[in-house]
Structure 1
């Protein structure tokens, strides 16, 4: 069976690696010319995502991944803050967690190595369809095309493949504009280093302003103590943060800014919304070249709305089907699980076209359920941020957070920084 994979992101590369390992004839096409040319947050891989990877790649790849990943079990408990930096509460105990955080570049590079010569970079796709014999065909912007027995779209939020199958868009803007950046922990003052700690934190204020600060240290908190295998991009304690604001005429111009200009504009937006100066230090001290803007897109949370097409010789997975905001840290892991499921269903195929279509139908049914799960989790935070931008939400946030902070302070038996 020949499989053509459109898209060389995490899901497409995971699928390509799994198919290659199982002996399929596979080709992965991506418009990028360099797999390291990727941005975004770091990626969280829970136990389910890691188990899926175990079925897709050689154990040696998993060892390199874990040697390059930061173990959540070695972090402090996550914390929630208000806009003044007052502690509101903590997340669950992570001491028993098997999850790891890893740089997106690191994961993509490892998977690209596993795909090997079956990865074809610099091949932007213009469309998909069927040839005169009814075979799935991938068409490229240079006018060339290839045919296969199965075409899989792993081409992300703006998927050419999924749009062809669904006869339209499979997701829409979620109403949030995100901004990300990287800040070395050592670049912060001692007080802010202590407040943020070695954990991920989330702060939400009135008028739809939120700041996520993730902690990544693949060296000091390595999931696997094997320095000789380490290939992480992050080489020391680093905060990888994400600022979030409701999408509006006010925030839209920010998407055109870059570097220090964008960083300063973000600081202005937070200050206008009453955020304390010390809570913004992680943004103010960020590497300007790391600061970037992106829109949150989301598919429907209803499983029945996902992959709204009849199973056939063209399918899709990952964000092409269930585009997920990064607010739950589950999107990449879900794409990897999609890839593992598809490989396993293809392994059951005995016979011709009908058997392939039956396997795709079973795969898509499981993918719909998984997509609904991760989207429901991610949209909770999106809806909370949007709620604080309403008159009622702003009032509730302004009044309630000092009360919650006082309760948290009383329980802890110590004063919090104001």
Structure 2
């Protein structure tokens, strides 16, 4: 017997779909409500650490994801300037354990599509153009309103509806994402044969210039700068800015610039962060993933933490007989300290760069978090 028989999930992104897969596999009736009109994924590519890959295996989606992505080991650091020499090749901690690659890159759209297909195959119902707009709490249930009309009564509503979560607002949590002071340009381009792992350039006109392979023929590249009012920039100007800011970087950046000159799209966002203090639930409504916590992608753990949220919660829901205080205590004990450590470390790494702190032990902090993530959630 499971603690729930009917669950509503707000949000059809990585976290929401992961929860849908696990619950539907256990025989739970699952309705996923996605506000967008169709399956989409913002951004270009995504970096996934080993602990995220471990979750994909638990979902039963690992074989499909492995085939669609680009697995690699290690991280190269290059210097800006002529030739872009590699100054260090660092090993990665295999946070998923020895059975998985240390890291993987893949197009975000492919990841979302694969999880959507697995959710539907497991029996979850996914509705698009369906925004959770209200809720009516009860002692042991919650009535969910979608597009202002009742969608039914559920044992649990999972708010996995992202950074600007409407479910978070509906349950009265006022925590909001706040800018960290950095902004990032991203583009999706072809992969030069020499790029076989993530590579980062520190120094030069921006804080970080880097790229991650996402497939045999693709990768995403990025430039991290001081946060600026770039919003509303035309596509032409966005490409021009990314071209200009990347000229200090040689090596594979020459190929990236060639793709930008041929029309590769550049997009811009700010780094933000937030962390909802415990509890993440209000009665029979709970926040997961970016609705509950977010951080800059400085250690590439954002998606992994949302996936772990989903895996831990569904494990407890399937193993227990009731949605009670003990379930929530156990959930928060397993998730809050781990997510907090990732958020704090990710923000600290960026703060050190903003402050130009040359004495900061960035390597030690990254290694310490990786060691912690190597322990299953």
**Structure-2 change in CA distance of 1:80 and 1:52 (3 Å):** same
Are the counterparts in 2 of residues 208 and 385 from structure 1 also a CA contact under 8 Å?
Answer: no
- Larger displacement relative to structure 2 (38-47 or 147-156): 38-47
Determine the structure 2 residue equivalent to 1:379: 347
- For residues 232-247 of structure 1, the aligned pairs below 5 Å read 236=217, 238-247=218-227
Instruction: From 19, 25, 31, give the equivalent of 2:35.
Output: 31
Q: Does 1:130 align with 2:137?
A: yes
TM-score of the superposition, structure 2-length normalised?
A: 0.81
Give the Å deviation of 1:262.
0.3
Report the secondary structure of 2:91's partner residue. Answer: coil
Q: In the alignment, is the contact (CA less than 8 A) between 1:53 and 1:340 conserved in 2?
A: no
- The structure 2 residue matched to 1:8, chosen from 12, 20, 25, is 12
Q: Report the Cα distance in structure 1 between the residues aligned to 2:45 and 2:62, rounded to whole angstroms.
A: 17
Deviation at 1:182, TM superposition (A): 1.5
Contact 2:279 2:332 in 1 (8 A): no
Kindly indicate which of the two structures has a greater share of residues assigned to strand.
2
SS in structure 2 at match of 1:243: strand
Change in 2 beyond 3 A, CA 1:309/1:71: closer
Distance in 1 (CA, whole Å) between partners of 2:252 and 2:203 is 12
Verify the 8 A CA contact 2:280 2:292 in the aligned structure 1. no
1:48-102 Cα distance to aligned partner (Å, 9 max, x none): 3233233333xxx3322222221214xxx42223432354422216897453333
Between the aligned partners of 2:19 and 2:110, the Cα distance in structure 1 is 17
Q: Structure 2 vs 1, CA of residues 205 and 310 (structure 1 numbering), >3 Å: closer, same or farther?
A: same
Summarize the Cα distance change of 1:99–1:83 in structure 2 as closer, same or farther, 3 Å threshold. closer
* Alignment partners' CA distance in 1, 2:269 and 2:236: 16
SS at match of 1:299: strand
Determine which of 269, 272, 281 is the counterpart of 1:294. Answer: 269
Cα separation, 1, equivalents of 2:203 and 2:172: 38
Q: Paired residue for 2:119?
A: 115
Structure 1 residues 266 and 40, CA gap change in structure 2 (3 angstroms): same
Of residues 287-296 and 317-326 in structure 1, the stretch that sits farther from structure 2 once superposed is 287-296
Alpha carbons of structure 1 residues 349 and 149: separation in structure 2 relative to 1, 3 Å: same
SS in 2 for 1:297: strand
Give unpaired runs (5+ residues) of structure 2. 360-377
Q: State the partner residue of 1:167.
A: 173
The aligned length equals 343
TM-score where L is the length of structure 1:
0.73
Larger radius of gyration, structure 1 or 2? 1
Q: Is the 8 A contact 1:38 1:105 kept in 2?
A: yes
More helix by share: 1
* Alpha carbons of structure 1 residues 183 and 52: separation in structure 2 relative to 1, 3 Å: closer
Q: Is the 8 Å Cα contact of residues 143 and 150 (structure 2) preserved in structure 1?
A: no
Matched, 1:153 2:128: no
Please state how far the C-alpha of 1:278 moved relative to its aligned partner: 6.1
Q: 1:325 aligns with which of 285, 292, 296?
A: 296
1:210 aligns with 2:208: yes
**1:175-186 alignment runs, 5 A limit:** 175-186=181-192
Rounded to whole Å, the distance in 2 between the matches of 1:149 and 1:27 is 12
Question: Runs ≥4 in structure 1, deviation > 6 angstroms?
Answer: none
- Which residue is 2:338 aligned to? 370
Distance (Å, rounded) in 1 between the aligned partners of 2:231 and 2:152: 36
1:347 matched to 2:354: no
Identify if the C-alpha distance between structure 1 residues 293 and 350 changes in structure 2 by more than 3 Å, giving closer, same or farther. Answer: same
Residue 364 and residue 128 in structure 1: after superposition, are their counterparts in 2 closer, same or farther (change >3 A)?
Answer: farther
SS in 1 for 2:19: helix
